[in-house]
Amino acid sequence: MTTGVLAAKRSWEPGWEGELPDDHPLVDMARTGRRLPPDNRLAVMLLGGGISPTNGRSRGPRERHSVLIGRSCGGLGDVLMTSVAVRAYRRSHPRSRITYALPSALRDTQINNPDVDEVVEWTATTPKTFDDFDEVYDLSRIDHAYEREVIPHVDKSRMEIYAEALHVEPTDWRPFYRVERSETEAARRFRVPDGRLHIGLGLRSASPLRDMDRDRWVELSAILVNRLGVQVVLFDRQASFGWDGPYVTRACGLPVRDMAAIFSTMDAVVVLDSGLLHLAGALGLPTVALFGSTDPRYRADRYPSVKVCSGITRCRRAPCWCGPGKEECRRECMAFDPVEIFWALLYALGPGRVAGPWATTVDLSGSEERRLTDSGNNGRRWSTRRERPTVAVEA
């Protein structure tokens, strides 16, 4: 049985009336107060055209099947991943009325989702309204329950867990997030208007065990500014987090939609296994994702624009999913070399993106040479040479 999911009607109550014959077993169950198993989808299907759950009234011909899909906890990434299952549910139940209940801090992320009829705030009283719906799907803790049970042998993504809970099979695995035009125009005023590339850095995740040391972020920022001449934009949930420096801008502590609008204007981003990873996947941004204790196959495999740097070879326990022994974890899996991230970012950007008036020569001792060359009318292309241990990025 799926933990935390109510996939059926509310409890049967005496006095319900419908269009079924008086001797029908379902009518008998309604009058006697007998209950069906909570996961009995047959009951949901049979009751959809006959008996109504609303105070014993029969369902009118125009009354829509009402569904509540909600999540009371979690962060931005969890909400975005649930949107995949919600989209699939809408496609399989196009005439249902879907109410989407989310925590107050994240409700606005789905306010313009076309797959739902209403987005409401999940509060302490939300469970008391379950009886007002034909079906209720509470997705709050089913992911954590599954992962705790199988750690470290996780073999299923959270998007798959949510889809199974809703009994759907998604064909589109891209989370929903849409930045409105007015938000985009406001966010673009945040950019430095000098033609520089803007690279976003998502500094922290929900768990310290999935974070990279601050000093490594600072070193990566210096490489990007000094060698590629980009504008670095820092993203974090706390306004005081980050650092100041030339060509470094903070976008920290902002409301979620303001942050997401600025995030959407980045030319590329470097993120951890965090909500920003799933936001980047939803927006299709060129992304480098840093993974250590979690397995990227079950977090980033659905996002074509994401390039993964995994620290699994640095720790014999990885991917441990922060399971047993995490008290002694030294985060060796997150000890990324900033130069390694730099190279991954170049590939994520693609040929030609780093060449421009601000590009400079990059001298990385011991690295093979990769030159971004101009191939005339054919545009720009990558070529690899090994004669010298230097890297040149030319305009």
What average pLDDT does this structure show over 369-391? 29
In this structure, the answer to whether residues 78 and 220 fall within a common structural domain is: no
CA–CA distances in Å: residue 59 to residues 42, 54, 137, 298, 359: 18, 8, 21, 42, 67
What's residue 258's pLDDT?
Answer: 95
DSSP 8-state secondary structure symbol assigned to residue 286? -
* Domain extent at residue 360: 354-395
In this structure, the answer to whether residues 156 and 271 fall within a common structural domain is: no
Span 214-240, pLDDT tens digits: 999 999 999 999 988 999 999 999 998
Give the residue with greater pLDDT, 57 vs 134: 134
Residue 331's CB is within 10 A of a number of other CB atoms, namely 17
Residue 117 has pLDDT above 50, yes or no: yes
Q: Is residue 255 part of a domain?
A: yes
Span 119-157, pLDDT tens digits: 999 999 999 999 999 999 999 989 989 988 888 888 999
CA–CA distances in Å: residue 166 to residues 31, 64, 124, 261: 29, 18, 23, 30
Q: Which range is most confident: 12-16, 268-272, 373-377?
A: 268-272
In this structure, the answer to whether residues 358 and 394 fall within a common structural domain is: yes
CATH number at residue 309: 3.40.50.2000
What average pLDDT does this structure show over 261-289? 96
Residue 12 has pLDDT above 80, yes or no: no
Give the residue with greater pLDDT, 352 vs 213: 213
H-helix or E-strand spanning residue 120:
strand 118-121
Torsion of CA 85, 303, 146, 150, to 10 degrees: 160
Whole-number Å distance between alpha carbons of 384 and 395: 17
Q: Which of 93-97, 158-162, 254-258, 321-325 has the lowest mean pLDDT?
A: 321-325
Whole-number Å distance between alpha carbons of 11 and 166: 20
Residue 369 has pLDDT above 60, yes or no: no
In this structure, the answer to whether residues 359 and 303 fall within a common structural domain is: no
HSE, CB side, 13 Å, CA atoms: give it for residue 109: 28
Q: Is residue 68 part of a domain?
A: yes
In this structure, the answer to whether residues 225 and 81 fall within a common structural domain is: no
Q: Is residue 19 part of a domain?
A: no
Residue 31 has pLDDT above 70, yes or no: no
HSE, CB side, 13 Å, CA atoms: give it for residue 60: 4
In this structure, the answer to whether residues 344 and 244 fall within a common structural domain is: yes
Q: Structurally, how many domains does the chain consist of?
A: 3
Whole-number Å distance between alpha carbons of 257 and 383: 40
Q: Is residue 306 within 8 Å of 280, Cβ to Cβ?
A: yes
